[in-house]
Amino acid sequence: MAFLNKTPSLNTRSSNRRAPPEPLSPKLSGLLREARWLAVVVLALYLALVLFSYDHADPGWSHSGSMLSVHNAGGELGAWLADMLLYVFGFSAYWWVAFSLYVVWRGYRRIESAGMSDRRSLFVAVTGFLILLLASSGLEALRLYSIKAALPLAPGGMLGSVVSSYLAISIGFTGATLILLLSMAVGFSLFTGMSWLKFMEGLGGAMENSIQWIFRTWDAWQDRRAGSVALNRREEVVEEKKRVDDHKP
């Protein structure tokens, strides 16, 4: 009897379980991916717009400005966002525009793909971007501190000041510069997927082809010049012969 009493409860539990949701149709999934990609495009353009139109007189995250007139093309929100990014990262905040363009490009490549994207490549790209942003801010604060620019804090921002100060004290000014340059190269390679060896090979091949083209152009010009000189001499000889043959006996 106990077994019979337990059986209905198990059936009740199984019946109460929710059925898995039905997957969206391919057309609707494609429309949602396209709408998400368009939203990312708008956000990338807005970020580039607010950074390029930054004005120190606008109200911002680090200071209070005039609320009567906002010069930033992104409005009051854009002025606050640009001020915060420039205060933290300095000029290196423009790397966020590059990251936004990367997200747009990545989303455009996968807009027709219905499968899951490779999260490992995305993780590597994001890690490389963070390394690039950190090294760029530190190098900016270490080397470009004397640039007179309208920034909320200083070149390199708050992050660059912390990184450059720590590295300069630890391994010296020159050592910090080398470490930051190496970190920028590694971060840029991970972020963009570019191989520096292939880049150097391509650059060397382009230089070699350019030099060969210059030599070929020079030789062709020399040949044309020699041919022109020979043609002028031949015409002079022909004219002289005509004058000799045309005299009266």
Confidence of residue 10 (pLDDT cuts 50, 70, 90): very low
pLDDT at 178: 92
pLDDT at 130: 92
pLDDT per residue as tens digits for the range 78-99:
888 888 888 888 888 889 988 8
pLDDT at 6: 46
Residue 215, amino acid: F
The predicted model gives 130-138 an average pLDDT of 91
Confidence of residue 240 (pLDDT cuts 50, 70, 90): low
Under 8 Å CB-to-CB from 94, ≥6 apart: which residues? 51
pLDDT per residue as tens digits for the range 30-79:
677 777 778 888 888 888 888 888 877 777 766 665 556 777 888 888 88
Report for 32-41, 100-109, 173-182, 223-232: range of highest mean pLDDT: 173-182
- For the chain, the straight-line distance linking the first and the last C-alpha, in angstroms and rounded, comes to 150
pLDDT at 69: 74
Whether the pLDDT of residue 22 is over 70: the answer is no
The C-alpha angle 176, 179, 183, rounded to 5 degrees, equals 135
How far apart CA 155 and CA 17 sit, in angstroms, is 59
What is the DSSP secondary-structure string of the chain? -HHHHHHHHHHHHHHHSPPPPPPPPHHHHHHHHHHHHHHHHHHHHHHHHHHHT--TTS--SSS---SS----TTHHHHHHHHHHHHHHHGGGGGHHHHHHHHHHHHHHHTTT--S---HHHHHHHHHHHHHHHHHHHHHHHHHSTT-----SS-TTHHHHHHHHHHHHHHHHHHHHHHHHHHHHHHHHHHHH---HHHHHHHHHHHHHHHHHHHHHHHHHHHHHHHHHHHHHHHHHHHHHHHHHHTS--
pLDDT per residue as tens digits for the range 183-239:
989 888 888 887 777 777 777 888 888 888 888 888 788 777 777 777 777 766 666
Instruction: Please give the torsion angle defined by the CA atoms of residues 80, 82, 88 and 92, in that order, rounded to the nearest 10 degrees.
Output: 180
Q: Please count the residues of the chain.
A: 249
pLDDT per residue as tens digits for the range 113-130:
544 455 667 788 888 899
Whether the pLDDT of residue 4 is over 50: the answer is no
Decide if 157 contacts 137 (C-beta within 8 A): yes
pTM exceeds 0.75: no
Confidence of residue 246 (pLDDT cuts 50, 70, 90): low
